């Protein structure tokens, strides 16, 4: 098996830096857009054969070192009785706002609510037959709480910041509930064959360092602690969170995802080599001509340095308008570096 991704997660030596791309199974691919023209997003997520088809699209096209299951971080929120829709961005029918609503939550087991996520992981693992490892994923408790309270994506997510001010104990209760859900969601995927898992804390960067330390961090730590016994690498990714980078390195995750705002050499210094790093080419760099993509990618590899424990990726999800030729240039740049150092 191509295990350079798993080796890099464990900070072991590799023949070349592994590469995968956040949101690699997405709208920049013509074959994905074709599939989505036939089926709506939720049907795609809930039909393992179709979800696996989407996961395999980037693997068939590019020499990538990991596949990610096709799903969404918000799907397990249905275990709390939420009604979700996507058109194409997500909406939650009745956002949670009061401590009464939070105290009344009676979560159903995640495995009963999203069994199709486990089925997709198992089928993906079978289809890949060892070609590259399978990554499972979940939202982090804080980011899920941000959507649950707001009801949809929103710049700065004011509803959760208002809840933090009005009723911090209720926010604590909500995060406790979500920590259990995140552990269950990832256990489901690990049991089905996921060989690594990534936790997306997409909105933790809206918090001050004190609030990150008091709310987002303990909640994700608890979720990760529940996974230790499986010995599967855990990646924690909180974009726009350079102001809490040192705290973000203490979640218990093996790998810290770094967005493009923080140089990898600075991240390495601040984390003292205690975690592997993943990232961090600016997704917008892939909108430049291929020769520029190559330059920018090689600059990221230079910043990452020669020590083991770097996984090449973008600093956030790939943008929908990205040309396929840019991804090809990125893959070629990573392969080129192998020849230079070999």
Comparing CB distances to ligand 1CP, the nearer of 283 and 337 is 283
Task: Give me the least distance between CB of 214 and ligand 1CP, in Å please.
Answer: 22
Residues forming contacts to ligand 1CP in the complex (CB under 6 A) are: 22-27, 36, 41, 68, 70-74, 86, 88-90, 137, 153, 200, 202, 316-317
Q: In degrees rounded to 5, what are phi and psi of residue 136?
A: -95, 170
Q: Which of 10, 23, 261, 292 is catalytic?
A: 23
Around 72, how many Cα atoms within 13 Å sit in the side-chain half-sphere?
Answer: 19
CA–CA dist 70, 168 (Å, integer): 34
Comparing CB distances to ligand 1CP, the nearer of 69 and 337 is 69
Q: Which of 36, 61, 91, 261 is catalytic?
A: 36
Task: Give me the least distance between CB of 143 and ligand 1CP, in Å please.
Answer: 7
3-state SS of 266-293 is HHHHHHCCCCEEEEEECHHHHHCCHHHH
Comparing CB distances to ligand 1CP, the nearer of 89 and 129 is 89
* Residue 126 appears among annotated catalytic residues: no
Q: At what angle do helices 48-61 and 30-38 cross, to 10 degrees?
A: 160
Q: Which position's Cβ is nearest ligand 1CP?
A: 153
Comparing CB distances to ligand 1CP, the nearer of 153 and 158 is 153
* Residue 94 appears among annotated catalytic residues: no
Task: Give me the least distance between CB of 289 and ligand 1CP, in Å please.
Answer: 24
Task: Give me the least distance between CB of 317 and ligand 1CP, in Å please.
Answer: 4
Q: How many CB atoms lie within 10 A of CB 161?
A: 18
* Residue 125 appears among annotated catalytic residues: no
Residue 110 near residue 118, CB atoms below 8 Å: no
Residue 95 near residue 83, CB atoms below 8 Å: no
**CA neighbor of 239 nearest in space, from 312, 161, 316, 311:** 316
Q: Which of 4, 7, 16, 72 is catalytic?
A: 72
* Residue 106 appears among annotated catalytic residues: no
Comparing CB distances to ligand 1CP, the nearer of 202 and 262 is 202
CA–CA dist 232, 325 (Å, integer): 33
In the chain, where does DSSP find H-type helix? 4-9, 30-38, 41-46, 48-61, 99-103, 110-113, 115-128, 141-150, 158-166, 168-192, 209-211, 217-225, 245-248, 264-271, 290-304, 324-341
- DSSP 3-state of 20: coil
- DSSP 3-state of 235: strand
Comparing CB distances to ligand 1CP, the nearer of 68 and 217 is 68
Residue keyed to tokens 């089926």: 39
Task: Give me the least distance between CB of 56 and ligand 1CP, in Å please.
Answer: 11
* Residue 27 appears among annotated catalytic residues: yes
Q: Which of 27, 91, 221, 261 is catalytic?
A: 27
Task: Give me the least distance between CB of 305 and ligand 1CP, in Å please.
Answer: 26
As annotated, the active-site residues are 23, 27, 36, 72, 147
């Amino acid at each position: 098996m191509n295990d350079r991704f798993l080796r890099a997660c464990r900070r072991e030596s590799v023949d070349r830096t592994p590469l995968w791309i956040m949101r690699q199974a997405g709208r920049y691919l013509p074959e994905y857009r074709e599939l989505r023209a036939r089926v709506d997003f939720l049907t795609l997520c809930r039909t393992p054969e179709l979800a696996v088809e989407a996961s395999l699209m980037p693997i068939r096209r590019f020499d990538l070192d990991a596949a990610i299951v096709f799903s969404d971080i918000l799907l397990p929120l249905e275990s709390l009785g939420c009604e979700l829709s996507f058109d194409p961005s997500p909406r939650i029918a009745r956002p949670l706002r009061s401590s009464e609503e939070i105290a009344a939550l009676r979560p159903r087991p995640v495995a009963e609510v999203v069994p199709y996520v486990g089925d997709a992981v198992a089928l993906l693992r079978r289809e890949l037959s060892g070609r590259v490892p399978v990554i499972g994923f979940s939202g982090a408790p804080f980011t899920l709480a941000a959507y649950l309270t707001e009801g949809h994506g929103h710049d700065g997510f004011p509803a959760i910041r208002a809840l933090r001010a009005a009723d911090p104990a209720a926010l604590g209760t909500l995060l406790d509930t979500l920590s259990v859900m995140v552990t269950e969601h990832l256990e489901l995927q690990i049991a089905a064959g996921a060989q690594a898992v990534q936790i997306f804390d997409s909105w933790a960067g809206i918090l001050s360092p004190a609030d990150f330390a008091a709310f987002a961090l303990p909640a994700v730590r608890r979720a990760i602690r529940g996974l230790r016994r499986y010995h599967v690498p855990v990646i924690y990714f909180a974009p726009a969170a350079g102001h809490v980078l040192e705290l973000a390195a203490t979640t218990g995750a093996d790998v810290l995802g770094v967005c493009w705002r923080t140089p990898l050499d600075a991240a390495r210094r601040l984390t003292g080599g205690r975690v592997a790093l993943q990232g961090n080419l600016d997704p917008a760099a892939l909108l430049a001509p291929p020769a520029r993509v190559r330059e920018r990618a090689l600059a990221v590899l230079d910043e990452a340095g020669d020590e083991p424990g770097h996984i090449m990726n973008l600093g956030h999800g790939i943008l929908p308008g990205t040309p396929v030729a840019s991804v090809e240039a990125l893959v070629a740049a990573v392969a080129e570096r192998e020849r230079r150092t070999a």
